[in-house]
A and B are shown apart, each in its own frame.
Chain A
Protein backbone atom coordinates (compact mmCIF):
# COMPACT_ATOMS: atom_id res chain seq x y z
CA UNK A 1 0.00 0.00 0.00
CA UNK A 2 1.40 3.40 -1.06
CA UNK A 3 0.66 6.68 0.69
CA UNK A 4 0.53 9.71 -1.57
CA UNK A 5 0.71 13.36 -0.57
CA UNK A 6 -1.12 15.03 -3.42
CA UNK A 7 -0.54 18.80 -3.66
CA UNK A 8 -1.27 19.32 0.01
CA UNK A 9 -1.69 22.94 1.05
CA UNK A 10 -2.81 24.12 4.44
CA UNK A 11 -3.55 27.39 6.17
CA UNK A 12 -4.31 28.18 9.79
CA UNK A 13 -6.43 31.33 9.29
CA UNK A 14 -4.20 33.77 7.43
CA UNK A 15 -1.07 31.75 8.18
CA UNK A 16 -0.02 29.66 5.19
CA UNK A 17 1.72 26.54 6.52
CA UNK A 18 2.04 24.13 3.59
CA UNK A 19 2.08 24.83 -0.11
CA UNK A 20 1.38 22.09 -2.67
CA UNK A 21 3.43 19.36 -1.01
CA UNK A 22 3.55 16.18 -3.06
CA UNK A 23 5.46 12.94 -2.63
CA UNK A 24 4.81 9.21 -2.44
CA UNK A 25 5.68 6.72 0.27
CA UNK A 26 5.92 3.34 -1.43
CA UNK A 27 5.04 0.12 0.34
CA UNK A 28 7.68 -0.74 2.93
CA UNK A 29 9.58 2.49 2.32
CA UNK A 30 10.78 4.81 5.08
CA UNK A 31 10.53 8.48 4.21
CA UNK A 32 11.89 11.11 6.58
CA UNK A 33 10.55 14.66 6.50
CA UNK A 34 12.95 17.36 7.63
CA UNK A 35 12.91 21.13 7.46
CA UNK A 36 13.31 24.29 9.52
CA UNK A 37 11.21 24.83 12.65
CA UNK A 38 7.63 25.75 11.83
CA UNK A 39 7.75 24.53 8.23
CA UNK A 40 4.67 22.36 8.77
CA UNK A 41 6.22 18.91 9.22
CA UNK A 42 3.83 17.82 11.99
CA UNK A 43 0.87 19.46 10.23
CA UNK A 44 1.74 17.47 7.11
CA UNK A 45 1.87 14.24 9.11
CA UNK A 46 -1.52 14.96 10.70
CA UNK A 47 -2.96 15.47 7.22
CA UNK A 48 -1.35 12.27 5.92
CA UNK A 49 -2.85 10.35 8.85
CA UNK A 50 -6.33 11.83 8.47
CA UNK A 51 -6.29 13.84 11.69
CA UNK A 52 -6.40 17.20 9.93
CA UNK A 53 -8.34 18.23 6.85
CA UNK A 54 -6.06 20.11 4.42
CA UNK A 55 -7.11 23.42 2.89
CA UNK A 56 -6.26 22.05 -0.56
CA UNK A 57 -5.07 18.78 -2.01
CA UNK A 58 -5.16 15.63 0.03
CA UNK A 59 -3.66 12.36 1.17
CA UNK A 60 -4.45 9.24 -0.82
CA UNK A 61 -3.80 5.53 -0.57
CA UNK A 62 -2.94 3.30 -3.51
CA UNK A 63 -3.29 -0.45 -3.29
CA UNK A 64 -4.79 -2.60 -0.59
CA UNK A 65 -3.39 -2.68 2.92
CA UNK A 66 -2.07 -6.02 4.24
CA UNK A 67 -4.99 -8.33 4.98
CA UNK A 68 -4.18 -8.59 8.68
CA UNK A 69 -3.69 -4.85 9.23
CA UNK A 70 -6.16 -3.45 11.76
CA UNK A 71 -5.12 0.18 11.26
CA UNK A 72 -3.04 0.72 8.11
CA UNK A 73 -1.95 4.27 9.03
CA UNK A 74 -0.81 4.31 12.64
CA UNK A 75 0.75 7.17 14.58
CA UNK A 76 3.62 7.10 17.05
CA UNK A 77 3.35 10.37 18.92
CA UNK A 78 6.07 12.71 20.13
CA UNK A 79 4.52 12.97 23.61
CA UNK A 80 3.64 9.23 23.65
CA UNK A 81 -0.12 9.92 24.13
CA UNK A 82 -0.56 7.14 26.68
CA UNK A 83 -3.68 6.91 28.81
CA UNK A 84 -2.32 7.64 32.30
CA UNK A 85 -5.14 5.70 33.99
CA UNK A 86 -4.34 2.51 32.07
CA UNK A 87 -1.55 0.03 32.66
CA UNK A 88 0.98 -0.70 29.96
CA UNK A 89 -1.04 -3.75 28.95
CA UNK A 90 -4.31 -1.83 28.80
CA UNK A 91 -2.68 0.96 26.78
CA UNK A 92 -1.46 -1.53 24.20
CA UNK A 93 -4.83 -3.26 24.15
CA UNK A 94 -6.77 0.01 23.86
CA UNK A 95 -6.87 0.23 20.04
CA UNK A 96 -7.78 -3.47 19.76
CA UNK A 97 -10.93 -3.42 21.86
CA UNK A 98 -13.16 -2.21 19.04
CA UNK A 99 -11.59 -4.18 16.22
CA UNK A 100 -13.73 -7.27 16.62
CA UNK A 101 -10.88 -9.44 17.91
CA UNK A 102 -11.82 -11.88 20.66
CA UNK A 103 -10.28 -11.61 24.11
CA UNK A 104 -7.91 -14.53 23.57
CA UNK A 105 -6.68 -13.20 20.25
CA UNK A 106 -6.34 -9.71 21.73
CA UNK A 107 -4.24 -11.03 24.59
CA UNK A 108 -2.01 -12.88 22.14
CA UNK A 109 -1.50 -9.72 20.05
CA UNK A 110 -0.73 -7.67 23.17
CA UNK A 111 1.70 -10.30 24.45
CA UNK A 112 3.48 -10.31 21.10
CA UNK A 113 3.71 -6.49 20.94
CA UNK A 114 5.01 -6.32 24.52
CA UNK A 115 7.57 -9.03 23.81
CA UNK A 116 8.80 -7.29 20.65
CA UNK A 117 9.32 -4.05 22.56
CA UNK A 118 10.84 -5.63 25.67
CA UNK A 119 7.91 -4.61 27.87
CA UNK A 120 6.67 -8.02 29.01
CA UNK A 121 7.89 -7.44 32.56
CA UNK A 122 6.21 -4.03 32.78
CA UNK A 123 2.69 -4.93 31.64
CA UNK A 124 1.14 -4.01 34.99
CA UNK A 125 2.95 -0.68 35.37
CA UNK A 126 1.30 2.72 34.90
CA UNK A 127 2.85 5.31 32.55
CA UNK A 128 3.90 7.54 35.45
CA UNK A 129 6.05 4.68 36.75
CA UNK A 130 8.01 4.46 33.50
CA UNK A 131 10.93 6.44 32.08
CA UNK A 132 10.43 8.48 28.90
CA UNK A 133 12.07 5.77 26.81
CA UNK A 134 9.86 3.06 28.25
CA UNK A 135 6.77 5.20 27.65
CA UNK A 136 7.70 5.58 24.02
CA UNK A 137 8.21 1.82 23.82
CA UNK A 138 4.60 1.48 25.01
CA UNK A 139 3.58 3.87 22.23
CA UNK A 140 5.47 1.70 19.74
CA UNK A 141 3.99 -1.52 21.15
CA UNK A 142 0.50 -0.02 20.81
CA UNK A 143 1.26 0.89 17.20
CA UNK A 144 2.66 -2.57 16.42
CA UNK A 145 -0.40 -4.25 17.95
CA UNK A 146 -2.63 -3.01 15.10
CA UNK A 147 -0.17 -4.29 12.47
CA UNK A 148 0.19 -1.03 10.53
CA UNK A 149 1.15 -0.81 6.89
CA UNK A 150 2.73 2.60 7.44
CA UNK A 151 3.88 4.10 10.73
CA UNK A 152 3.44 7.86 11.02
CA UNK A 153 6.07 8.98 13.49
CA UNK A 154 6.03 12.56 14.72
CA UNK A 155 9.45 13.27 16.23
CA UNK A 156 9.15 10.12 18.33
CA UNK A 157 12.57 10.54 19.94
CA UNK A 158 12.68 14.30 20.51
CA UNK A 159 11.40 14.13 24.11
CA UNK A 160 14.06 11.62 25.13
CA UNK A 161 17.65 11.83 26.32
CA UNK A 162 20.44 10.97 23.88
CA UNK A 163 21.16 7.49 25.24
CA UNK A 164 17.50 6.48 25.13
CA UNK A 165 17.24 7.96 21.64
CA UNK A 166 20.11 5.78 20.48
CA UNK A 167 18.51 2.64 21.93
CA UNK A 168 15.11 3.38 20.41
CA UNK A 169 16.70 4.23 17.07
CA UNK A 170 18.22 0.74 17.08
CA UNK A 171 14.73 -0.63 17.83
CA UNK A 172 13.22 1.29 14.90
CA UNK A 173 15.93 0.01 12.55
CA UNK A 174 15.23 -3.55 13.73
CA UNK A 175 11.43 -3.18 13.42
CA UNK A 176 11.63 -1.72 9.92
CA UNK A 177 14.35 -4.10 8.74
CA UNK A 178 12.15 -6.63 6.93
CA UNK A 179 10.37 -4.00 4.84
CA UNK A 180 6.94 -5.27 5.88
CA UNK A 181 6.10 -1.88 7.31
CA UNK A 182 6.74 1.55 5.82
CA UNK A 183 7.09 4.78 7.75
CA UNK A 184 6.88 8.52 7.50
CA UNK A 185 9.35 9.86 10.02
CA UNK A 186 9.09 13.54 10.90
CA UNK A 187 12.22 14.82 12.59
CA UNK A 188 14.39 17.87 13.03
CA UNK A 189 17.34 15.54 13.70
CA UNK A 190 19.25 14.97 10.47
CA UNK A 191 21.26 12.10 11.92
CA UNK A 192 18.06 10.18 12.66
CA UNK A 193 16.83 10.95 9.14
CA UNK A 194 19.92 9.57 7.35
CA UNK A 195 20.16 6.52 9.61
CA UNK A 196 16.55 5.44 9.21
CA UNK A 197 15.12 6.72 5.94
CA UNK A 198 15.27 5.41 2.40
CA UNK A 199 14.49 8.92 1.20
CA UNK A 200 14.52 12.30 2.92
CA UNK A 201 11.97 14.94 1.92
CA UNK A 202 13.41 18.38 2.68
CA UNK A 203 10.79 21.06 3.23
CA UNK A 204 11.45 24.77 2.84
CA UNK A 205 10.58 27.23 5.60
CA UNK A 206 6.97 28.26 5.99
CA UNK A 207 4.96 27.81 3.90
CA UNK A 208 6.53 24.37 3.59
CA UNK A 209 7.26 23.27 0.02
CA UNK A 210 9.19 20.21 -1.11
CA UNK A 211 12.62 21.66 -1.66
CA UNK A 212 14.52 18.47 -2.33
CA UNK A 213 14.04 14.73 -2.08
CA UNK A 214 17.34 13.05 -1.15
CA UNK A 215 17.77 9.31 -1.64
CA UNK A 216 20.04 7.57 0.85
CA UNK A 217 22.24 5.36 -1.33
CA UNK A 218 22.71 2.57 1.23
CA UNK A 219 20.56 -0.11 2.76
CA UNK A 220 19.89 0.23 6.50
CA UNK A 221 22.08 -2.82 7.08
CA UNK A 222 24.99 -1.13 5.32
CA UNK A 223 24.59 1.99 7.46
CA UNK A 224 25.55 0.05 10.58
CA UNK A 225 29.11 -0.53 9.30
CA UNK A 226 31.99 1.69 10.46
CA UNK A 227 32.91 2.68 6.89
CA UNK A 228 29.37 3.98 6.33
CA UNK A 229 29.74 6.55 9.08
CA UNK A 230 31.68 8.96 6.90
CA UNK A 231 29.16 8.69 4.08
CA UNK A 232 26.26 9.29 6.46
CA UNK A 233 28.01 12.35 7.89
CA UNK A 234 28.51 13.70 4.37
CA UNK A 235 24.81 13.16 3.65
CA UNK A 236 23.94 14.86 6.90
CA UNK A 237 26.10 17.84 5.92
CA UNK A 238 24.40 18.00 2.54
CA UNK A 239 20.99 18.04 4.18
CA UNK A 240 22.11 20.67 6.66
CA UNK A 241 23.44 22.88 3.85
CA UNK A 242 19.98 22.66 2.27
CA UNK A 243 18.15 23.91 5.33
CA UNK A 244 20.77 25.88 7.28
CA UNK A 245 19.99 29.39 5.99
CA UNK A 246 16.26 28.87 6.26
CA UNK A 247 16.63 27.37 9.73
CA UNK A 248 18.46 30.54 10.82
CA UNK A 249 15.69 32.70 9.30
CA UNK A 250 13.03 30.57 10.99
CA UNK A 251 14.84 30.92 14.31
CA UNK A 252 15.00 34.72 13.94
CA UNK A 253 11.32 34.77 13.04
CA UNK A 254 10.48 32.88 16.26
CA UNK A 255 12.60 35.33 18.30
CA UNK A 256 10.80 38.34 16.79
CA UNK A 257 7.36 36.79 17.15
Chain B
Protein backbone atom coordinates (compact mmCIF):
# COMPACT_ATOMS: atom_id res chain seq x y z
CA UNK B 1 0.00 0.00 0.00
CA UNK B 2 1.40 3.40 -0.99
CA UNK B 3 1.39 6.06 1.67
CA UNK B 4 0.28 9.51 0.63
CA UNK B 5 2.74 12.29 1.46
CA UNK B 6 1.31 15.33 3.31
CA UNK B 7 0.52 18.24 1.01
CA UNK B 8 2.97 21.15 1.27
CA UNK B 9 1.29 23.48 -1.17
CA UNK B 10 -0.41 25.70 1.43
CA UNK B 11 0.83 29.25 1.83
CA UNK B 12 1.66 29.62 5.51
CA UNK B 13 3.08 33.14 5.64
CA UNK B 14 1.69 35.30 2.83
CA UNK B 15 3.41 38.45 4.07
CA UNK B 16 6.83 37.23 2.87
CA UNK B 17 5.66 36.17 -0.63
CA UNK B 18 6.84 37.91 -3.78
CA UNK B 19 6.35 36.83 -7.40
CA UNK B 20 9.16 35.23 -9.35
CA UNK B 21 10.36 37.80 -11.91
CA UNK B 22 9.60 36.83 -15.54
CA UNK B 23 12.83 36.63 -17.53
CA UNK B 24 11.77 34.74 -20.62
CA UNK B 25 10.76 37.60 -22.94
CA UNK B 26 12.17 38.39 -26.39
CA UNK B 27 14.33 36.51 -28.93
CA UNK B 28 11.20 35.16 -30.63
CA UNK B 29 10.40 37.54 -33.50
CA UNK B 30 6.97 36.90 -35.02
CA UNK B 31 5.76 37.35 -38.58
CA UNK B 32 5.00 41.11 -38.36
CA UNK B 33 3.13 41.20 -41.70
CA UNK B 34 0.79 44.02 -40.71
CA UNK B 35 3.64 46.23 -39.52
CA UNK B 36 5.43 45.53 -42.81
CA UNK B 37 2.48 46.69 -44.90
CA UNK B 38 2.01 49.76 -42.70
CA UNK B 39 5.70 50.67 -43.06
CA UNK B 40 5.47 50.24 -46.86
CA UNK B 41 2.37 52.41 -47.03
CA UNK B 42 4.06 55.08 -44.89
CA UNK B 43 7.15 55.17 -47.13
CA UNK B 44 4.99 55.44 -50.28
CA UNK B 45 2.88 58.19 -48.65
CA UNK B 46 6.00 60.12 -47.63
CA UNK B 47 7.45 59.68 -51.11
CA UNK B 48 4.20 60.94 -52.66
CA UNK B 49 4.15 63.91 -50.28
CA UNK B 50 7.77 64.77 -51.15
CA UNK B 51 6.90 64.74 -54.86
CA UNK B 52 3.60 66.65 -54.56
CA UNK B 53 5.08 69.29 -52.27
CA UNK B 54 7.99 69.85 -54.64
CA UNK B 55 10.64 68.72 -52.09
CA UNK B 56 12.32 66.58 -54.76
CA UNK B 57 12.74 67.13 -58.49
CA UNK B 58 10.29 64.75 -60.27
CA UNK B 59 12.84 64.37 -63.07
CA UNK B 60 15.10 62.47 -60.64
CA UNK B 61 12.45 60.92 -58.40
CA UNK B 62 8.90 60.99 -59.78
CA UNK B 63 6.12 60.41 -57.22
CA UNK B 64 4.46 56.97 -56.93
CA UNK B 65 1.31 58.32 -58.61
CA UNK B 66 3.34 59.23 -61.72
CA UNK B 67 4.85 55.75 -61.78
CA UNK B 68 1.39 54.20 -61.47
CA UNK B 69 0.15 56.34 -64.37
CA UNK B 70 3.20 55.33 -66.43
CA UNK B 71 2.49 51.64 -65.77
CA UNK B 72 -1.17 52.13 -66.70
CA UNK B 73 -0.30 53.86 -69.99
CA UNK B 74 2.29 51.22 -70.86
CA UNK B 75 -0.23 48.48 -70.14
CA UNK B 76 -2.96 50.15 -72.25
CA UNK B 77 -0.61 50.73 -75.19
CA UNK B 78 0.59 47.11 -75.05
CA UNK B 79 4.25 48.14 -74.78
CA UNK B 80 4.47 46.75 -71.25
CA UNK B 81 3.31 43.27 -72.29
CA UNK B 82 5.73 43.21 -75.21
CA UNK B 83 8.67 43.84 -72.88
CA UNK B 84 7.37 41.60 -70.09
CA UNK B 85 6.72 38.73 -72.50
CA UNK B 86 10.23 38.98 -73.96
CA UNK B 87 11.77 38.85 -70.47
CA UNK B 88 9.49 36.06 -69.25
CA UNK B 89 10.32 33.87 -72.26
CA UNK B 90 14.06 34.39 -71.69
CA UNK B 91 13.85 33.81 -67.96
CA UNK B 92 11.55 30.79 -68.38
CA UNK B 93 13.72 29.10 -71.00
CA UNK B 94 17.04 29.90 -69.30
CA UNK B 95 15.80 28.92 -65.86
CA UNK B 96 14.30 25.67 -67.10
CA UNK B 97 17.40 24.60 -69.01
CA UNK B 98 19.72 25.59 -66.13
CA UNK B 99 17.51 23.90 -63.56
CA UNK B 100 17.13 20.60 -65.43
CA UNK B 101 20.88 20.37 -66.08
CA UNK B 102 21.67 21.53 -62.52
CA UNK B 103 19.39 18.91 -60.97
CA UNK B 104 20.90 16.13 -63.11
CA UNK B 105 24.49 17.17 -62.40
CA UNK B 106 23.72 17.86 -58.71
CA UNK B 107 22.26 14.38 -58.27
CA UNK B 108 25.21 12.81 -60.10
CA UNK B 109 27.64 14.66 -57.79
CA UNK B 110 25.59 13.71 -54.75
CA UNK B 111 25.45 10.02 -55.64
CA UNK B 112 28.60 9.14 -57.60
CA UNK B 113 32.21 9.32 -56.42
CA UNK B 114 33.52 9.88 -59.95
CA UNK B 115 30.97 12.61 -60.74
CA UNK B 116 31.74 14.25 -57.39
CA UNK B 117 35.46 14.35 -58.08
CA UNK B 118 35.07 15.80 -61.55
CA UNK B 119 31.96 17.93 -60.93
CA UNK B 120 33.08 19.72 -57.77
CA UNK B 121 36.40 20.63 -59.39
CA UNK B 122 34.69 22.26 -62.35
CA UNK B 123 31.96 23.91 -60.30
CA UNK B 124 34.50 25.35 -57.86
CA UNK B 125 36.47 26.79 -60.77
CA UNK B 126 33.54 28.15 -62.79
CA UNK B 127 30.95 29.14 -60.18
CA UNK B 128 32.70 32.36 -59.04
CA UNK B 129 32.79 33.78 -62.61
CA UNK B 130 30.12 36.49 -63.03
CA UNK B 131 28.07 34.85 -65.77
CA UNK B 132 27.22 38.13 -67.46
CA UNK B 133 30.94 38.44 -68.30
CA UNK B 134 30.48 35.44 -70.58
CA UNK B 135 27.73 37.10 -72.64
CA UNK B 136 30.10 38.60 -75.26
CA UNK B 137 31.71 35.17 -75.70
CA UNK B 138 28.30 33.52 -75.94
CA UNK B 139 27.28 36.09 -78.57
CA UNK B 140 30.38 35.13 -80.56
CA UNK B 141 29.50 31.47 -80.25
CA UNK B 142 25.71 31.60 -80.61
CA UNK B 143 25.02 34.80 -82.57
CA UNK B 144 23.08 37.87 -81.54
CA UNK B 145 19.62 36.34 -81.19
CA UNK B 146 17.93 35.00 -78.08
CA UNK B 147 20.34 32.10 -77.59
CA UNK B 148 23.22 33.93 -75.84
CA UNK B 149 20.83 35.64 -73.38
CA UNK B 150 19.09 32.37 -72.59
CA UNK B 151 22.45 30.60 -72.31
CA UNK B 152 23.72 33.26 -69.87
CA UNK B 153 20.68 32.79 -67.65
CA UNK B 154 20.93 29.00 -67.92
CA UNK B 155 24.60 29.11 -66.89
CA UNK B 156 23.86 31.29 -63.86
CA UNK B 157 20.99 29.05 -62.81
CA UNK B 158 22.87 25.82 -63.49
CA UNK B 159 25.71 26.36 -61.02
CA UNK B 160 23.51 27.49 -58.11
CA UNK B 161 21.07 24.63 -58.77
CA UNK B 162 23.81 21.99 -58.98
CA UNK B 163 25.31 23.21 -55.69
CA UNK B 164 21.98 23.28 -53.84
CA UNK B 165 21.02 19.84 -55.22
CA UNK B 166 24.20 18.05 -54.22
CA UNK B 167 24.18 19.81 -50.84
CA UNK B 168 20.60 18.57 -50.43
CA UNK B 169 21.55 15.02 -51.42
CA UNK B 170 24.45 15.13 -48.96
CA UNK B 171 22.04 16.26 -46.24
CA UNK B 172 19.68 13.29 -46.66
CA UNK B 173 20.10 11.25 -43.46
CA UNK B 174 22.17 8.17 -44.30
CA UNK B 175 20.13 6.09 -41.88
CA UNK B 176 17.11 6.46 -44.19
CA UNK B 177 19.13 5.19 -47.13
CA UNK B 178 20.48 2.28 -45.06
CA UNK B 179 16.93 1.54 -43.93
CA UNK B 180 15.77 1.33 -47.54
CA UNK B 181 18.76 -0.86 -48.44
CA UNK B 182 17.99 -3.16 -45.52
CA UNK B 183 14.60 -3.83 -47.14
CA UNK B 184 16.25 -4.53 -50.52
CA UNK B 185 14.59 -1.48 -52.09
CA UNK B 186 16.10 -1.03 -55.59
CA UNK B 187 18.53 1.85 -56.16
CA UNK B 188 16.21 3.79 -58.49
CA UNK B 189 13.43 3.61 -55.89
CA UNK B 190 15.82 4.77 -53.15
CA UNK B 191 16.71 7.79 -55.30
CA UNK B 192 13.06 8.53 -56.11
CA UNK B 193 11.50 7.86 -52.71
CA UNK B 194 14.23 8.66 -50.23
CA UNK B 195 16.94 10.86 -51.75
CA UNK B 196 14.70 13.11 -53.87
CA UNK B 197 12.17 14.02 -51.14
CA UNK B 198 14.99 14.27 -48.60
CA UNK B 199 16.87 16.72 -50.80
CA UNK B 200 13.77 18.68 -51.80
CA UNK B 201 13.97 21.33 -49.04
CA UNK B 202 17.45 22.29 -50.21
CA UNK B 203 16.41 22.12 -53.89
CA UNK B 204 13.48 24.46 -53.31
CA UNK B 205 15.68 26.83 -51.31
CA UNK B 206 17.98 26.76 -54.35
CA UNK B 207 15.02 27.65 -56.62
CA UNK B 208 14.53 30.80 -54.58
CA UNK B 209 18.14 31.80 -55.21
CA UNK B 210 18.15 30.83 -58.89
CA UNK B 211 14.96 32.82 -59.53
CA UNK B 212 16.79 35.95 -58.31
CA UNK B 213 19.88 35.02 -60.33
CA UNK B 214 17.75 34.59 -63.46
CA UNK B 215 16.07 37.97 -62.93
CA UNK B 216 19.41 39.67 -62.41
CA UNK B 217 20.93 38.07 -65.50
CA UNK B 218 17.97 38.73 -67.80
CA UNK B 219 18.04 42.43 -66.94
CA UNK B 220 21.81 42.60 -67.41
CA UNK B 221 21.70 40.67 -70.68
CA UNK B 222 18.84 42.79 -72.04
CA UNK B 223 20.72 45.96 -71.14
CA UNK B 224 23.72 44.75 -73.14
CA UNK B 225 21.97 43.60 -76.27
CA UNK B 226 18.21 43.50 -76.69
CA UNK B 227 15.47 45.56 -78.29
CA UNK B 228 12.68 44.21 -76.08
CA UNK B 229 12.60 43.12 -72.47
CA UNK B 230 12.31 44.89 -69.13
CA UNK B 231 16.07 45.42 -68.95
CA UNK B 232 16.16 47.02 -72.39
CA UNK B 233 13.12 49.13 -71.51
CA UNK B 234 14.67 50.40 -68.26
CA UNK B 235 17.94 51.27 -70.02
CA UNK B 236 16.10 53.03 -72.84
CA UNK B 237 13.97 55.03 -70.36
CA UNK B 238 17.08 56.03 -68.45
CA UNK B 239 18.80 57.23 -71.62
CA UNK B 240 15.76 59.38 -72.44
CA UNK B 241 15.48 60.71 -68.84
CA UNK B 242 11.98 59.17 -68.60
CA UNK B 243 12.38 58.37 -64.93
CA UNK B 244 8.69 57.59 -64.41
CA UNK B 245 8.95 54.85 -67.05
CA UNK B 246 12.34 53.73 -65.71
CA UNK B 247 10.84 53.28 -62.24
CA UNK B 248 7.76 51.65 -63.78
CA UNK B 249 10.13 49.01 -65.18
CA UNK B 250 11.76 48.62 -61.77
CA UNK B 251 8.35 48.17 -60.14
CA UNK B 252 7.46 45.51 -62.71
CA UNK B 253 10.71 43.69 -61.91
CA UNK B 254 9.91 43.89 -58.20
CA UNK B 255 6.39 42.51 -58.80
CA UNK B 256 7.85 39.75 -60.93
CA UNK B 257 10.27 38.82 -58.15
CA UNK B 258 7.46 38.85 -55.60
CA UNK B 259 5.28 36.64 -57.82
CA UNK B 260 8.08 34.10 -58.23
CA UNK B 261 8.72 34.13 -54.48
CA UNK B 262 5.03 33.57 -53.84
CA UNK B 263 4.95 30.68 -56.33
CA UNK B 264 7.89 29.05 -54.54
CA UNK B 265 6.10 29.53 -51.20
CA UNK B 266 3.07 27.69 -52.61
CA UNK B 267 5.34 24.95 -53.96
CA UNK B 268 7.03 24.58 -50.57
CA UNK B 269 3.69 24.49 -48.74
CA UNK B 270 2.50 21.70 -51.06
CA UNK B 271 5.65 19.62 -51.27
CA UNK B 272 7.10 20.15 -47.81
CA UNK B 273 3.89 20.02 -45.76
CA UNK B 274 5.39 17.20 -43.72
CA UNK B 275 8.01 19.48 -42.10
Contact = CB atoms under 8 A, between A and B. Distances in A.
Binding partners A and B: yes
Given A85-B197, A94-B193, A77 B184 contact: no
Interface in B134-192: 175-176, 178-186, 189
Contacts of B178: 51, 81
Interface in A85-135: 85-86, 94-95, 97-98, 126, 128
A95 B194 CA distance: 12
Interface residues on A, range: 20 to 34
Interface of A: 49-51, 71, 73-75, 77, 79, 81, 83-86, 94-95, 97-98, 126, 128, 146
How extensive is the interface on chain B, given as a class? 10 to 19
A136 to B, nearest CB: 13
Contacts of A74: 182-183
Given A83-B194, A84-B274, A98 B186 contact: yes
Contacts of A71: 182-184
Nearest to B181: A51
Given A79-B175, A83-B176, A146-B183, A97 B274 contact: no
Main secondary structure of the interface of B (DSSP, over half): helix
21 contacts: A49-B182, A50-B182, A51-B178, A51-B182, A75-B182, A77-B175, A77-B179, A81-B175, A81-B178, A81-B179, A83-B193, A83-B194, A83-B197, A85-B198, A85-B274, A86-B274, A94-B183, A97-B189, A98-B184, A126-B274, A128-B275
Interface string B263-275: 0000000000011
A79 B274 CA distance: 18
A75 B274 CA distance: 24
Contacts of B194: 83
A134 B175 CA distance: 19
A73 B184 CA distance: 10
A188 B144 CA distance: 70
Interface string B225-263: 000000000000000000000000000000000000000
In the A-B complex, the 8 residue pairs with the closest CB atoms: A95-B183, A81-B179, A85-B274, A75-B182, A85-B197, A81-B175, A126-B274, A51-B178
Contacts of A146: 183
A98 B175 contact: no
Contact of B179 (A50, A75, A98, A128): A75
Nearest to A128: B274
Contacts of B180: 94-95
B57 to A, nearest CB: 56
Contacts of B275: 84, 128
Nearest to B274: A85
A228 B185 CA distance: 43
Given A81-B175, A126-B274, A98 B185 contact: yes
